[in-house]
């Protein structure tokens, strides 16, 4: 009983076996000891919340944030003790932030619920009680027989039982799972393939034993036991028998399959990988600033508490005649009073921590991410693909990248393969006008115009046509004899292949006379110069990345058993015992030097005895439920030996458009590019040279083919010495996978030293996990550089997830890279705009947003601190509670949000054409200690001017009205608050370079809204307010001319020094970005990019007039320049600045 309770509570989960047993059509045994297994239902759940757990779960997640939790504590303190401000002042902003975030997250989750309901409610047909029953997808159970028709998606993971074809085969496309658009063939076991009707399937008695669910899309281990009359037949089940949920049935009328994995246990659901949370450098800086401001807050609270008791040490201030203590207050503990006062001051100053910062940053990231998808420059018209954002949390990180790690195939290249050359029996051949011509022969030469193939050539081409996974569009060949119509005219077949290399080779073979015409059951048909030949397919030894080869065993028309193998030269040549091995190796190296992708082809003949032993071993390995992969690997190695080498192929993968220009731009921006590829050394170096990754003048260093630690270490020391001696020359490093493993094992520090001194690094023969290790190595080095990984295939996923920013290319190797990336683009060339324009803008925007938020809160709360020196630290508040509450929510929130969405301090064209501007923002330059110190000191300076300026102007003589009526403390506080709202809003206006009508509306609208709100709030007696200290205060303040004079004078005094500082820095120490801001209007920069700049001969009023003209759409682009403000006259001088493609920037004043 106790064990059962523990299991229900999840403390002691029930034992789960390594395999599951599935009774087809849920025909459980009627006798014997049978314990039914529990399986998941077929509901897909991608949502995060339910109706019942939304509130507690969402609140828990939100209060994990330091700022939210801090304000919750402050709110609770206000409720528990007597504090100077109302609990509403902390509770309302906190409620607003929590509510906005909860609504956003709730809406996103509602969309996921909606999508889930559509999927789970989709109609399906299931075989039950001798007939087809229509039901909903969520009602499918493990063991049900499901019917799927052509072009429908599979609702569960099914083991194929039968199809409308006699051989029980069907074609599917897994584009929605891995992006591969090729047709894949799946085959049913012979015993169930003949059961093509519902009635026959209803009589089927069979049991499937298979592994428990796992995420690997390409792995499935199981076996089916079919009870046929009195005997039981056991057949192996592999990936070729499994139809995955989300895949689509093609070129097949209908299929029947049995559900083996349902709902969240399907392979598609298990691949819903929850990626580890990546945090940007800006977010880390923000948290550091938050801690510093918490320290400032604690310091102010402690200092105020100490000064209060120091002041009250004098008896006349401890208990003044107008504020006598109660008996309870006199007898209370001094320690408790000290703690209570400390908490009260903490509450009074708590607004120095900007609670709305997080929600504003979230809104900025979420809304700002849409600009990437909307950017037409990142739209690829040919494939109709636009850039997509999977993670908006890292927008600003695009502006901080220091290292780019890129895949080669499909990322730098098109992944469109074209057959170029081959080597057969030691002779190089090229394709010339559809004929295979030996090198050195032309079409006009005696041997160049041959119509027949030599025996070796024909065998080589047959091996290419038989050893592959290529499929043919069956709709095309129906009713015709292969590719040959009755009139003898050939029509090209349409091939589908998971590998572009295979497709290119089969198409090339068909052009030179050996045509693969398709499969029929277990028969492969080939036409050699029009003569049909049928080969019986006996076994397929599937490709895997460890073996780096694939093989087929076929029976030739003469009855001979043949093995055809193709793969990387490193896996074929060592296993070959005959053939022109040395000549072929030379040819392979020559192909690689030309940048071609190479494959070697070999074969082997089996005696009947050998084949019988091989068949027995394969059957034992394939029907094993435990360690099947290891057993199969051993058998494959046993089979693929003593090969006779036939030759090699060279296939070209052309470079993508503007790859060279993009890599050069990245280099100019100070970004180092590393190419990580699985290709062989020579191929990778050739492509690196052609794409500009390596320059011809660069000194290429090599760390390759090392087998021991000692030789690897010695080579590394020599390379480090060579780099120091030739420090003037640029170096490029080439390292292969095996040498890299040795270098990372014992000599990591030395290896990193060599790499960092190289301008470009190329890693070849890399396994996927090695790619991730290299990224992690750089990421965790002492400098902690920001890394970006970009790739298009499943082998790049680990690297993409490891880097700070992962970018997927929407290529031909599937969508796994795109699904697991933070951003996805269609072409490598789009990377330059993504980093130099979007990354630059996002970083500048959010850096200013964060600094400005802290600045305006220092401005807000410091006068409150200063005011305590004038009220005996009695915790009297300077501002009204409503102003405390609305300052961050309403009065100052919109200008900075709009700035953070639309600001363009430099024109996008200039940013993209001048990659060197990217260096100005690198290494978190705008959120370092100096900018943070500047904004903090500026905030304290402005706060002192607000407070003491107001105090000097009206502190001694408060009779500022004509009738002699006196002003009180609420009027003084309102004057300080009014000056503050105007100043911080104008400060945001000074920071804005790119003005739109929205910027104007929210900037001036915020000031107008403050005045209108204050007039209404203080001009009417509101019945629902407990007290109304502000009644008629604002109206009286505005009726005083002296108050208006004070407001204008203090605002100008605050902003004047800031403007002077900007002008001095722009003239004396301009950055590259500030120089670029002075680009002529002819460069395409819009007029009035800064409100403080105007042209020759114009006054400041003319600038204001031009601003209004632009709002009405009448602004002229011909006479506008950017300029600084003269210190003497506050008029701008014309500063011309010319950006030439190859010249350094210069200013002519």
% of the chain with per-residue pLDDT over 70: 82
User: What's the whole-number mean pLDDT along residues 160-179?
Assistant: 78
HSE-up of residue 867 (Cα within 13 Å, Cβ side):
25
DSSP three-state, residue 227: strand
pLDDT at 149: 92
pLDDT at 442: 59
Which DSSP helix (H) or strand (E) runs through 290? Answer: helix 281-311
* Residue found by looking up tokens 């032993």 in the block: 613
Helix (H, G, I), strand (E, B) or coil at 872: coil
Asked if the model's pLDDT at residue 1098 lies above 60, the reply is no
Question: Can you give the pTM of this predicted structure?
Answer: 0.70
Query: Which tens digit of pLDDT belongs to each residue from 363-380?
Result: 888 888 889 989 888 888
pLDDT value for 963: 55
**Closest by CA position to 206, among listed 20, 18, 28:** 28
The residue that leads in pLDDT, 627 or 60, is 60
949: three-class secondary structure by DSSP: helix
Burial of 1142 (0-12, 13-18, 19+ CB in 10 A): exposed
- Tell me 431's DSSP state: E
Q: What tens digit of pLDDT does each residue of 850-906 get? A: 999 999 999 998 998 998 888 877 878 888 888 888 888 888 889 999 999 998 888
Looking at residue 1002, its pLDDT comes to: 93
pLDDT (average), residues 16-21: 77
Give the torsion sign (CA, 129, 132, 134, 140). Answer: positive
| Kind of pairing between the strands at 643-655 and 576-578 | parallel
Residue 812 has a pLDDT of 60
**Which range, of 13-17, 498-502, 524-528, averages the lowest pLDDT?**
13-17
Kindly list the catalytic residues: 407
Higher pLDDT, residue 194 or 1140: 194
3-state SS assignment for residue 520: strand
Q: Note the pLDDT tens digit of each residue in 1116-1145.
A: 333 333 333 332 332 333 333 333 333 333
Q: What is the pLDDT of residues 308-350, one digit of tens each?
A: 888 777 766 666 655 666 666 666 677 887 888 888 888 888 8
* Higher-confidence position of 428 and 107: 428
Report the alpha-carbon distance of residue 1066 to residue 1074 in Å, rounded: 7
Give 228-274 pLDDT, tens digit per residue: 777 888 888 888 889 988 888 887 889 999 999 998 888 877 765 44
Is the confidence at residue 166, as pLDDT, over 50?
A: yes
d(CA 868, CA 863): 9
Determine how many CB atoms are found less than 10 A away from the CB of residue 928: 12
**pLDDT over threshold 60, residue 540:** yes
Residue 1051's region, left for phi above 0, alpha for psi from -120 to 50, else beta, is alpha
Question: What Cα–Cα distance (Å) separates residue 1119 from each residue in 217, 581, 1080, 1081, 1087?
Answer: 63, 74, 9, 8, 9
Exposed / middle / buried, residue 623 (Cβ in 10 Å: 0-12, 13-18, 19+):
middle
Query: For residues 1002 and 813, what is the distance between their CA atoms, to the nearest angstrom?
Result: 47
Radius of gyration of the chain (CA): 37
Tell me the mean pLDDT in the region 546-553.
83
Quote the tokens at residue 81. 């003790």
Q: Which pair of structure tokens corresponds to residue 409?
A: 């195939």
- Of the candidates 1010, 1008, 1027, 1012, the residue with the CA atom closest to the CA atom of residue 880: 1027
Find out whether 875 and 868 touch, Cβ atoms under 8 Å. yes
Structure tokens at 990: 């000074």
pLDDT of residue 1027: 65
Q: What local confidence, expressed as pLDDT, does residue 631 receive?
A: 85
Model confidence at 1004: pLDDT above 80: yes
Question: Mean pLDDT over all residues of the chain?
Answer: 79
Cα–Cα distance, 804 to 809 (Å, whole number):
17
Res 1126: pLDDT: 32
Per-residue model confidence as pLDDT tens digits over 597-643: 788 999 999 888 888 888 888 888 877 777 777 888 888 888 888 89
pLDDT in tens, 584-601: 999 988 888 777 878 899
Task: Estimate the crossing angle of helix 929-954 against helix 1041-1068, to 10 degrees.
Answer: 150
Of the ranges 46-60, 771-785, 1088-1102, 1111-1125, which one carries the lowest mean pLDDT score? 1111-1125
| CA distances, 256 to each of 22, 40, 48, 848 (Å) | 16, 21, 34, 61
Cα–Cα distance between 481 and 786 in angstroms, integer?
Answer: 59
How does pLDDT run across 662-682, given as a tens digit for each residue?
Answer: 888 998 998 989 988 877 676
Whole-angstrom distance, CA of residue 719 vs CA of residue 761: 13
Query: Would you say how long the chain is, in residues?
Result: 1149
Which residue's entry shows tokens 């309302």?
A: 92
What pLDDT is stored for residue 1137 in this prediction?
34
């Amino acid at each position: 009983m106790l064990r059962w309770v523990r299991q229900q509570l999840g403390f002691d989960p029930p034992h789960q076996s390594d395999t599951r047993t599935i009774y087809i059509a849920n025909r459980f045994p009627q006798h014997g000891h049978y314990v039914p297994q529990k399986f998941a239902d077929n509901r897909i759940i991608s949502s995060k919340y339910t109706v019942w757990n939304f509130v507690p779960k969402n609140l828990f997640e939100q209060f994990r944030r330091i700022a939210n939790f801090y304000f919750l504590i402050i709110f609770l303190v206000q409720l528990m003790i007597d504090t100077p401000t109302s609990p509403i002042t902390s509770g309302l902003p906190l409620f607003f932030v929590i509510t906005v975030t909860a609504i956003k997250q709730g809406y996103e989750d509602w969309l996921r619920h909606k999508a889930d309901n559509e999927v789970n409610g989709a109609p399906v047909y299931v075989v039950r009680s001798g007939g087809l029953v229509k039901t909903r997808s969520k009602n499918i159970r493990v063991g049900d027989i499901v019917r799927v028709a052509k072009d429908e998606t599979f609702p569960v993971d099914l083991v194929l039982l039968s199809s409308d074809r006699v051989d029980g085969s069907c074609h599917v496309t897994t584009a929605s799972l891995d992006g591969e658009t090729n047709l894949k063939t799946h085959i049913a076991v012979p015993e169930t393939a003949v059961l093509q009707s519902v009635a026959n399937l209803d009589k089927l008695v069979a049991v499937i034993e298979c592994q428990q669910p796992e995420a690997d899309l390409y792995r499935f281990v199981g076996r089916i036991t079919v009870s046929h009359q009195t005997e039981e037949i056991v057949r192996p089940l592999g990936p070729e028998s499994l139809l995955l949920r989300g895949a689509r049935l093609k070129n097949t009328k209908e299929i029947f399959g049995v559900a083996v994995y349902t709902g969240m246990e399907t392979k598609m659901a298990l691949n819903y990988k929850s990626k580890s949370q990546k945090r940007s450098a800006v977010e880390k800086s923000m948290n550091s600033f938050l801690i510093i401001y918490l320290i400032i807050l604690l310091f102010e609270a402690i200092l105020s508490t100490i000064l209060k008791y120091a002041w009250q040490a004098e008896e006349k201030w401890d208990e003044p005649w107008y504020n006598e203590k109660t008996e309870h207050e006199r007898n209370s503990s001094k320690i408790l009073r000290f703690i209570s006062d400390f908490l009260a001051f903490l509450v009074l100053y708590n607004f120095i921590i900007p609670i709305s910062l997080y929600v504003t940053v979230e809104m900025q990231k979420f809304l700002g991410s849409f600009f990437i998808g909307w950017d037409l420059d990142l739209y690829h018209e040919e494939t109709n693909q636009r850039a997509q954002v999977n993670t908006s949390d890292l927008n600003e990180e695009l502006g901080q990248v220091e290292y780019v790690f890129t895949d080669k195939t499909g990322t730098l290249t098109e992944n469109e393969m074209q057959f170029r050359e081959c080597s057969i029996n030691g002779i190089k051949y090229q394709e010339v006008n559809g004929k295979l011509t030996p090198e050195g022969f032309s079409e006009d030469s005696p041997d160049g115009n041959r119509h027949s193939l030599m025996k070796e050539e024909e065998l080589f081409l047959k091996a290419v046509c038989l050893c592959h996974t290529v499929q043919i569009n069956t709709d095309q060949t129906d009713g015709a004899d292969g590719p040959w119509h009755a009139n003898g005219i050939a029509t090209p077949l349409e091939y589908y292949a998971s590998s572009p290399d295979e497709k290119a080779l089969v198409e090339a073979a068909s052009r030179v006379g050996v045509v693969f015409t398709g499969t029929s059951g277990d028969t492969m048909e080939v036409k050699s110069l029009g003569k049909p030949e049928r080969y019986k397919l006996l076994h397929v030894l599937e490709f895997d990345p460890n073996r780096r080869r694939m093989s087929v065993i076929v029976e030739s028309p003469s009855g001979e058993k043949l093995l055809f193998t193709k793969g990387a030269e490193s896996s074929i040549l060592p296993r070959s015992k005959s053939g022109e091995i040395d000549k072929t190796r030379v040819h392979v190296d020559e192909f690689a030097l030309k940048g071609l992708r190479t494959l070697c082809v070999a074969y082997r003949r089996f005696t009947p005895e050998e084949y019988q032993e091989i068949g027995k071993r394969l059957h034992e390995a394939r029907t094993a439920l435990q360690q099947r992969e290891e057993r199969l690997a051993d058998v494959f190695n046993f089979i693929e030996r003593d090969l006779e080498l036939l030759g090699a192929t060279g296939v070209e993968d052309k470079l993508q458009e503007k790859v060279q220009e993009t890599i050069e731009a990245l280099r100019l921006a100070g970004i180092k590019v590393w190419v990580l590829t699985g290709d062989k050394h020579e191929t990778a170096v050739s492509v690196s040279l052609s794409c500009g990754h390596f320059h011809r003048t660069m000194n290429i260093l090599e760390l390759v083919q090392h087998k021991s630690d000692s030789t690897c270490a010695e080579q590394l020391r020599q390379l480090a010495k060579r780099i120091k001696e030739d420090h003037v020359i640029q170096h490029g490093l080439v390292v292969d996978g095996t040498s890299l493993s040795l270098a990372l094992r014992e000599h990591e520090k030395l290896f990193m030293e060599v790499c960092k001194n190289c301008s470009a690094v190329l890693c070849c023969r890399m396994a996927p996990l090695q790619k991730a290790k290299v990224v992690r190595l750089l990421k965790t080095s002492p400098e902690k550089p920001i890394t970006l990984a970009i790739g298009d295939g499943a082998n790049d996923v680990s690297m993409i997830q490891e880097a700070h920013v992962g970018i997927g290319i929407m290529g031909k190797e599937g969508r796994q890279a795109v699904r697991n990336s933070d951003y996805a683009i269609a072409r490598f060339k789009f990377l330059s705009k993504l980093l130099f324009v979007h990354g630059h803008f996002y970083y500048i925007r959010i850096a200013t947003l964060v600094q400005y938020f802290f600045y305006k809160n220092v401005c807000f709360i410091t006068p409150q601190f200063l005011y305590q020196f004038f009220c005996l630290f009695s915790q009297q508040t300077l501002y009204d509670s409503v102003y405390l509450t609305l300052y961050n929510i309403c009065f100052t929130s919109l200008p900075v949000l709009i700035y953070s969405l639309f600001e363009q301090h430099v024109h996008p064209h200039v940013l993209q054409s001048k990659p060197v501007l990217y260096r100005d923002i690198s290494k978190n330059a705008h959120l370092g200690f100096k900018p943070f110190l500047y904004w903090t000191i500026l905030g304290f300076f402005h706060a002192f001017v607000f407070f003491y300026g107001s105090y000097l102007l009206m502190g001694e003589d408060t009779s500022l009205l004509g009738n002699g009526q006196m002003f009180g403390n609420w009027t003084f506080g309102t004057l300080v608050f009014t000056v503050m709202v105007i100043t911080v809003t104008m400060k945001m206006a000074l920071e804005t370079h790119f003005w739109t009508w929205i910027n104007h509306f929210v900037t001036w609208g915020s000031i107008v809204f403050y005045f209108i709100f204050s007039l209404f709030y203080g001009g009417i007696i509101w019945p629902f307010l407990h007290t109304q200290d502000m009644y008629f205060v604002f109206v009286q303040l505005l009726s005083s001319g002296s108050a208006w004079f004070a407001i204008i004078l203090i605002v100008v005094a605050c902003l004047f020094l800031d403007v002077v500082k900007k002008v001095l820095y722009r003239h004396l120490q301009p950055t590259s970005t500030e120089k670029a801001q002075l680009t002529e209007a002819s460069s395409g920069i819009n007029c009035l990019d800064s409100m403080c700049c105007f042209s020759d001969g114009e006054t400041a009023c003319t600038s204001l007039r031009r601003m209004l003209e632009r709002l009405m759409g009448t602004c002229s682009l011909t006479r506008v320049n950017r300029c600084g403000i003269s210190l003497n006259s506050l008029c701008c001088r014309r500063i011309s600045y010319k950006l030439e493609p190859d010249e350094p920037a210069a200013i002519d004043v």
